A and B are shown apart, each in its own frame.
Chain A
Amino acid sequence: MLGSMERYEANQRLYQERLERLERANRNEQPDRIPVMSATSTWAYYYKGYLPKDGWYNSEITEKVYRAIYEDFYFDAIDIHPIAIYHPEMFTILGGGCFTFNEEGLHQTKSGAINVMEPEEYKDLIKDPYSYLLNTVFPRRYKLFSPEIDVDTKVEGLKKFLNFFDRFRQEMKKHNEICARDYGLPSAVQTLLLTPVDFILDTLRDFQGIIQDIKRRPEMVRDAGLALVDFILDGVKHLTPSYGQVILIPMHLPPFLSPKDFSKVYWPSYKKLIDELVGRGFMVKCAFERKYEHLYDFLRELPKNRIIAVLEDDDIFTFKKKLGDRMAIHGGIPTTMLYYASKQECLDFCQRLLDEVAPGGGYLFGTNMSMITPSDGKAENLKAVNDFIHKYGVYK
């Protein structure tokens, strides 16, 4: 048995080894072994016999849940953690918002709540995104920002909202410290950003609105995207690149765009954002949610070996052949397979990943998407595939 000081030092060494493993894989190089990534989001609560909402007011339950995940399954790094950023009370304080919560505590987009921007208002968004949000979007979305609420009430409400935000930050700090100290587990993600056009989709116009805009006023969508690049970059203004870590960008609209529309409205601001982040020294992990096969020619133009592609529904074997010389790949095991397939079928698939995706490096093993509900994977299958990749995914 290791004493507490020896264990601490062993975990420190493990932490550094894993960071180096991540850094090399992220840069599309060959590390010592394939990093096994954790994306056990709210699935972790169900695994431990809780519901996601049980963690809202109880830090001990949250800690018990993530400790179980990091003790029971092999991981090299954490991509998506189980700590909830959104809490219903936050939205009660603000008096509105885009989310609703189901009885288990999972947040979902509230129907009709996103589209608060009129198509004629693109010029206002372009002129000054901050003022437009504060003075036009927030009053439509939140009662707290409406004209009939006095300043003192607004200040009190904002203080309460910030308490929740601060609680999340404290919870994250505690999680990261425990992971590093007790498990030698680094966080793989520095922060999360949206692309400019996905910001318009996700927070201002919703799907129907932005698709109409792309057909009727594509130049405005393009120009708003370009105007929002600096706004998005303000989110990393105080960050410097951190060894082994990435900026995570989940991408939403491109699977629904033709290459022509993608080129016209999405690509200009997306490329500008990526070039700026890479120019500042960041590695960028793009979660290509759903399918991107029709856009591979564009992806080839992204900065070489500075992008990590998280693949959701794309064929990972084809992607490796077509883009493996340009960027690292993260993913591999579909959550549906983890849930519906047998252990042997999962392991056979992992062997194929080792044979066809792992050679040459630049590969991070993980699920194709975050594990959110119990049907995102059977625990015994997750344990088997992680152990298998850890044991056999060795380069030297």
Chain B
Amino acid sequence: MANNQKNSNREALERIARELMGAKNPKELEACVKMLIKIIP
């Protein structure tokens, strides 16, 4: 359960990173995911 939760939260952010933020490679993906985590209040 905990693992699924981890994966699904990360997967959701990665999809946003790719679809909305244009992340193309692992480095960009990581940077976008971190940025998203920081802006969630």
Contact = CB atoms under 8 A, between A and B. Distances in A.
A304 interface: no
Contacts of A146: 5
B6 A138 contact: no
Contact of B9 (A94, A154, A234, A235): A154
**A interface bracket (residues with beta carbon within 8 Å of B):** 20 to 34
Category for how many chain B residues contact A: 20 to 34
A contact patch SS:
helix
B16 A158 contact: yes
Contacts, number: 61
A155 B34 contact: no
A267 interface: no
Given A86-B41, A139-B9, A234-B38, 18 more contacts: A91-B41, A94-B40, A97-B41, A130-B33, A130-B34, A130-B37, A134-B9, A134-B37, A138-B40, A142-B40, A147-B5, A147-B8, A151-B11, A151-B15, A155-B19, A158-B16, A159-B16, A235-B38
Contacts of A363: none
Main secondary structure of the interface of B (DSSP, over half): helix
Interface of B: 1-2, 4-6, 8-13, 15-16, 19-20, 33-34, 36-41
Contacts of A161: 40
- Of the listed residues A134, A138, A139, A155, the one surrounded by the most CB atoms of chain B closer than 10 A to its CB is A134
Contact of A162 (B5, B20, B33): B20
A151 B16 contact: no
A155 B9 contact: no
A10 B16 CA distance: 44
Contacts of A135: 2, 5-6, 9-10
A165 B39 contact: yes
Nearest to A149: B8
